[in-house]
Each structure stands twice: as structure tokens, then as C-alpha cells.
Amino acid sequence: MTAIATVTEKLPAVQRELQTASAGQYLTFVLAGEIYALGILNIKEIIDYGQLTEVPMMPSFVRGVINLRGSVVPVVDLSARFGKGSTPIVKRTAIVIVETIVQHLDTKQNVGIIVDAVNEVIEISQQDIEQPPSFGSGIRPDFINGMARRDNRFVILLNVDRVLSVEEMANLSKAALGDREHGSN
């Protein structure tokens, strides 16, 4: 009985940790039939899909790197990151270059994300933003900052620093490397 009380006491702290998205401009895009959005301030540019260099020993959701004006930019398959399989490459497939913060280095890193198609930039008001669901969205709850009502649908507002956490992706890469080394004799 004490354990239940302890767990219950911790829940409010976890809920406070979640931040709801704020009003502003968002870039919307399609991924596996769902509409997602990222804050426009995180978006650096949108480019056509192509010229990826595959990097060995990376997690399956890291498709490779691109050369963006002399800088090496890792490219993440967002659908694979969400555990929904690889994004099929079609005519409208794009790479959205997003600026993220590397927490332990207190610096910024550009990361490309593969999306099925880029839609538009929209203005979302605070009254149209709901708390993220705690279950049922098909992706990790900490990846979602909120749900915005738009045209009788919900747009999933992503938490770019969680989805594209350079630290987490590096740790997953190390784990994948460790699994491969221990699996081969």
C-alpha cells in the first residue's frame, strides 16, 4: 500500500514536466497519413529529398547525412523514429532542416527530418491547443507538446527537442553498436 502512495505522489511532478505548446506559427507536414507541426522558429529550411550518404552503425531511423553548404547534417526518418516503419520516398518527400539544442554542450545542431509532404505554415491560437494525450497517439507522449484543433481535425504539435534529442539518438547509436558487437562472434 505504501508503494501505491509513493507512485501517486510522483505523478503530479511528471505532469508538471510536460509543457504545452504555445500559440504561434507552425509548419505543418504529413507523415503516414497524420498531420504534424513544428514551431516555425525551429525550421531552418525545406529541401527536396536526395543525396543522402548512409552511415554504418546508426539506429534504423537515422537514414544518413547530407552536405548542406559544407556542413554535415544528420537526417532522421521521422516515421521510423515513431516506430511506424520507413518513409516511402515519393515525389513530394522532403527534408525539413530543424535546429535543435544539444543540452550537454549548450549548443545548436541542425538535423534533417524526412516527411511525406510539407503542407503550409499556419497560425495557431492558444485556445486551439489542447494538452497532449497520455496514450493512444501512436508515438511517445513526451514527443508531443500539444494537439491543435484545425479544420475539424487535430494537428499533432511535436516537441522538437525530445523528438530530435541528439543525446538520445547518440545513446541509441551506441546501444545499436554494442548489440552488433555482442551479436557477432
Residue-number span of the structural domain to which 169 is assigned: 20-183
Q: What is the DSSP string of 48-61?
A: ES---B--TT--TT
- Residue 120 pairs in a beta bridge with none
Query: Which CATH number do you get for residue 45?
Result: 2.40.50.180
Q: What is the DSSP string of 84-99?
A: S-PPPP-TT-EEEEEE
Residue 101 is assigned to a structural domain of this protein = yes
Residue 3 is assigned to a structural domain of this protein = no
Residue 171 is assigned to a structural domain of this protein = yes
Mean pLDDT by 10 residues, the chain (185 residues): 40 44 92 93 93 86 92 92 90 94 78 95 93 70 87 90 76 55 48
Helix (H) or strand (E) holding 120: strand 117-124
pTM recorded for the entire structure: 0.78
Residue 14 is assigned to a structural domain of this protein = no
Residue 7 is assigned to a structural domain of this protein = no
Euclidean distance between CA atoms 118 and 47, whole angstroms: 10
Look at the chain and report how many structural domains it folds into.
Answer: 1
**Which pLDDT belongs to residue 18?**
46
**Which pLDDT belongs to residue 175?**
56
Helix (H) or strand (E) holding 2: helix 2-17
Which residue type does 90 have? V
- For the stretch 33-85, pLDDT in tens is 899 999 999 999 999 998 899 988 888 889 999 999 999 999 999 999 888 88
Residue 11 is assigned to a structural domain of this protein = no
